[in-house]
Structure 1
Amino acid sequence: MSSSKNGPSRPAPPPPNRGGEPAKPTSYGRFIPREELSSFAAWNIGSLDGAAPADKGVQRPAPPEPEPPSHEEVLAEATAAARKSGYQDGYRDGLVALEGFKQSYATQITAQLAAVTQSYMEQLDALQQQMARALAVSATHLARQMVRTEIEQRPEVVTTVAQEAVDTLLLSARHITLRVNPDDVALVSQGAADVLAARGARIVSDGSVQRGGCLVESDIGVIDASIETRWRRAAATIGCDATWNDAPAPEDTDA
């Protein structure tokens, strides 16, 4: 094998095929001269495990420096940042304002409901009082009619009233006078004769005394057992200011 001074040595051509056998392929088709290589890098074993090959002796161009942003880009970025900050501030302030409005609205509604409830309770109490008053008036009207019917059908009940009125006086009372309606004189004289005789009382006919009642006079006081007085006392126990002869006035009913 001879070497050339002008270039690298080349491998010798393969010997001619003898016996017609096909030629065996060689490992390389041809040898690549150094002049034909534009760039190359040394290979190391680290290339097989994914490591980057060492760039020894290879010069790469430096990356170009980024151009400074233009005035429009800077203004656009500042505008976007201002919008974002304003949105966040507005959203936060809106939440605070909404929470304050909800609390104020809840307080207002609570006060209104309390006022409505108080007014309703007052009206309900007034209605209950009116109903109770109306019921009491109706009851007194019915009771008065029943008493009148009882006096008309059983006039002798006046004797019991006279006896109780006389017995109410103290034993030391003197000059006892029993005033009764002229129509009740005979009934009282017969029915209460023993009591009147024991107390030394006398009967006096008095047209101002209605049937069913009496007045007892003595030196120590007067006992009013008239039907009007006893009826007023009975009506007062149920909270009704009713008279015996007349019904309560409309303003009394609403009181």
Structure 2
Amino acid sequence: MSSHPPKNGERNGAAYARFIPREELRDFAAWTPDAFGGTPAHTPESRQPDSAQSVAEALQAQLHAARQAGYQDGYRDGLVALDSFKRSFAQQTTAQVGALLQRFDDELLALERQLAHAVARAAVELARQVVRSELATRPELVVKVAEDALGAVLLSARHIVVHVHPDDHDLVAQGAAEVLAARAARLVATSDVERGGCRIESELGRVDAQIGTRWAQAAATLGQDVPWRDAAAADDAEGRP
């Protein structure tokens, strides 16, 4: 054992090298770099569950946003398609209704024309029956016809001949005697002149006042081509002696 006394450093080193029992280490904790900040250190293993949850929530949020955006886009596209369909349907309906109204108007106009033609023809047919009845019941009307026909002849005309039906000769001779004498006209019975009318000839021309001619002119003013005699009446007239 050395007789030299220990140096100060040696004495101090021996003091710091003293063994500390476990019982004295109950409040000991291992030092970490962030221990001074007052927050416990987190190992990568402790942060992994929180990161996975955050990623899942972010993905869920993105999915929800994508769904909302898709819903809005689809709704907007649906409105646009609906508006386009409405306009197309309105245009198509308008065109169809316009064509239907035009067709209805054309058919109504054609019906009005047919009705007007039928009414005019019925009126002409009725007038023909009335005139025939008048001639049958009042044969003296031929006198007025002869006077009007003579009035249509120019005053300068000479050698006037009035042709009437044989059955009307006496009626005209008596009823229009003064007019015939004033125009120095000669009255002649002619079988080809129908009863109720007359034909006047002179050196200046002819005045056809026969009932068939006057009837055709009157019917033409109504747009009708109805002869004075129908086929049956014409056959009867030709068969009479």
> TM-score, with normalisation over the residues of structure 2?
0.71
Bigger Cα displacement from structure 2, 65-74 vs 169-178: 65-74
The answer for unaligned runs of 5 or more in structure 1 is 1-58, 248-255
Structure-1 separation of matches of 2:52 and 2:123: 101
After superposition, the C-alpha distances for 1:133-180 in whole angstroms (9 at most, x for unaligned) are: 111111221211111111111111101100110011111112212111
> Residue 68 of structure 1 aligns with which residue?
51
After superposition, the CA RMSD in angstroms is 2.4
In 2, the alpha carbon distance for the partners of 1:68 and 1:185 equals 136
What amino acid does structure 2 have at the position aligned with 1:79? L
Alpha-carbon distance in 2 for matches of 1:96, 1:153 = 84
- In the alignment, which of 82, 87, 107 is matched to residue 123 of structure 1? 107
Which structure features the higher share of helix residues? 2
Query: In structure 2, what is the equivalent of residue 136 of structure 1?
Result: 120
What percentage of aligned pairs have identical amino acids? 53
What is the SS of the residue equivalent to 2:157? coil
Partner of 2:180: 196
Shift of residue 74, structure 1, vs aligned partner: 4.1
Write out per-residue CA displacement over residues 4-44 of structure 1, whole angstroms, 9 at most, x where no aligned residue.
xxxxxxxxxxxxxxxxxxxxxxxxxxxxxxxxxxxxxxxxx
- Say which SS state the counterpart of residue 207 (structure 1) adopts: coil
Determine whether 1:108 maps to 2:108: no
Question: For 2:144, which of 149, 160, 185 is the aligned residue?
Answer: 160
Are residue 237 (structure 1) and residue 221 (structure 2) matched? yes
1:178 aligns to 2:191 (yes or no): no
Q: Distance in 2 between matches of 1:137 and 1:162?
A: 28
Structure 2 counterpart of 1:150: 134
Q: Which moved more, 1:67-76 or 1:185-194?
A: 67-76
Code of the residue aligned with 1:111 in structure 2: it is A
Offset, 1:77: 3.1
- Structure 2: gaps of 5 or more residues: 1-36, 232-241
2:70 equivalent to 1:86? yes
CA distance in 2, matches of 1:147, 1:175: 31
Going from structure 1 to structure 2, the CA distance change for 1:154 and 1:69 (only over 3 Å counts) comes to: same
